[in-house]
Amino acid sequence: MFNQLFSDIGILWAKYGHVYLTGIANTLILAVTATVIGCVIGFFCGILQTIPYGLNDFFLKKFLLRLLRIVIRVYVEVFRGTPMILQAVFIYYGMPYFFGVTFKNIWTVSILVVSINTGAYMAESVRGGIMSIDVGQFEGAKAIGMNHWQTMLYVILPQTLRNIMPQIGNNYIINVKDTSVMFIIGFSDFFAVHKMVSGAVFKYFPSAFLEMGGYLILTLAASFLLRKLEKKLAGRSDYELVNLDQLVMTAGTYSLPRDATSPFDETNRDYKGETK
């Protein structure tokens, strides 16, 4: 029974191995690219959605910010609430209708569709990630004079990224599998290879078996790499105390306070700054 299966797979691989591999490569490239772009979209939506406005702000600013939030909301709901297979059809066949744009390259439209779809999910993940950050982190950043973008870029989003790594992993794995629906517009991913090959040689099950294994390898490898990345983002668990003499103090870069009433003049004088 298994002998038969493995010999069939052997035959398939001998003849179509490179086709399967090309399919895997296509799937991988599409999933990785779209997940990365989707994350960027998600983080961008996250920053825009959280721009604060107060009651005393200028009317136009309040109006625009509210409008922005509504637009993002609509984007999220539409692309999260409809099947990606239909989104692909809509964009691929819809663009020529409305804008006269036809896609010459199937890659462009595939990456576009999957990215936009992933972005909608990521926008919600990022929003959740930002909400989970302690309000003190925002206040600490504001208190030293950071504006919204600086606060987000240097303080909040790095912490958000760490917190939502599992969701990014989820999205990536979903993308590896779900990019198979892009066959509807003619993208030849890993699954499209199965349809083509099994149609040609009538070995449905051996091909499906091969596909299953291939997808599992792709997703398991992703899980493994993401765990590694998570650990890396968590940083070192220990630290070393630094002897003050070893600290590099570049001579002349620290300027003395401008006037004598300025409070920090004492320790500065006996501070032995040394250059290495």
Q: Is 61 in the site for other proteins (CB under 8 A)?
A: no
φ and ψ of 144, to 5 deg: -100, 15
Residues 14, 136, 232, 269: which binds other proteins (CB under 8 A)? 136
Give the footprint of other proteins on residues 251-270 (CB under 8 A). 253-255, 261, 263-268
140 contacts other proteins (rule: CB under 8 A)? yes
Binding to other proteins in span 87-116, by CB under 8 A: none
Q: Among candidates 137, 140, 171, which has minimal Cα distance to 157? A: 137
85 or 229: whose CB is closer to other proteins? 229
User: Least CB distance from residue 259 to other proteins, whole Å?
Assistant: 11
Comparing C-alpha atoms, which of 171, 189, 169 is closest to residue 179? 189
3-state secondary structure of 275: coil
Would you count residue 250 as binding other proteins (CB under 8 A)? yes
Tell me: does residue 243 bind other proteins (CB under 8 A): yes
Closest CA to 208 of 219, 220, 189, 194: 194
Judged by beta carbon, residue 104 or residue 232, the one nearer other proteins is 232
Q: What DSSP letter does each residue of 168-235 carry, written as one string? A: HHHHHHHHHHHGGGGGGGT---HHHHHHHHHHHH--HHHHHHHHHHHHHHHHHHHHHHHHHHHHHHH-
Should residue 54 be labelled a site residue for other proteins when binding is judged by CB under 8 A?
Answer: yes
> Should residue 132 be labelled a site residue for other proteins when binding is judged by CB under 8 A?
no
Cβ proximity to other proteins: between 59 and 240 the closer is 240
Q: Segment 142-201, which members bind other proteins (CB under 8 A)?
A: 142-147, 150, 154-155, 158-159, 162
| Angle in degrees, 0-180, between the axes of helices 106-131 and 2-49, rounded to the nearest 10 | 60
Helix residue spans in the chain (DSSP H): 2-49, 59-80, 84-99, 106-131, 135-143, 148-150, 157-163, 165-178, 190-201, 204-234, 266-269
Of residues 82 and 137, the one with the C-beta less far from other proteins = 137
Stretch that binds other proteins, among 13-21, 34-42, 48-56, 220-228 (CB under 8 A): 48-56
The residues of the shown chain that bind other proteins, judged by CB under 8 A, are: 54-56, 134, 136-137, 139-147, 150, 154-155, 158-159, 162, 235, 238-244, 247-250, 253-255, 261, 263-268, 271, 273
